[in-house]
Amino acid sequence: MTHRRHPDDGSEDDIPTPDDDFVLDLIREPEPAQDVPDSIRAMRARRVKVRMPTGAPSVKEVLLNPSEASGSAQPSRSMLRKLMRAQLRLGVTLVSWFFGLVVVVNVAFGFSPNLASFTVMNVPLEWLIPAGVFIPLLIVLGWFYVRRATANEHALEPQPEQEGLP
């Protein structure tokens, strides 16, 4: 049992520490072995060693759709680049038009104090335009982007050849 002197007491009496009843049991006896069920033994016998890939996956591996057969036609790199360029061009075009409109409206408010002081139902036009035009316009542009991006994807998909047609 470990004892220490209390610093406030000033006496020489030993005071027991609060951890005197704690016993640290790091070495234990192992639990007795249990019988392994046959179903577990069968699963252990069927295990396959799996190794991590060492390199970056190919485009074919990344785009492989598990619902399709692995031998199905996958898009080529050039087709993927063409699709990415078309979607990037679409996105940049839409964002450019939107920010161009924002700049034009702000310049108009800056150069025309009458326009900036105009109110509609006690709401300044400077507040009404962003809330009533810009936010709905962003929603419409997002919807338009998704529609066009989907159309671009469908346009670049390889068309299945139809047999029996002249």
Segment 97-112 shows an average pLDDT of 92
Determine the Cα–Cα distance for residues 84 and 152; give it in Å rounded to an integer: 9
Residue 48 reports pLDDT greater than 90: no
Residue 6: CA count within 13 A, CB half-sphere: 10
pLDDT tens, residue by residue, 63-103: 775 554 444 556 678 888 888 999 999 999 999 999 999 99
Determine the Cα–Cα distance for residues 153 and 84; give it in Å rounded to an integer: 9
What is the pLDDT, as a whole number, of residue 77?
80
What's the pTM value of the predicted model, to 2 decimals?
0.50
What is the pLDDT, as a whole number, of residue 102?
93
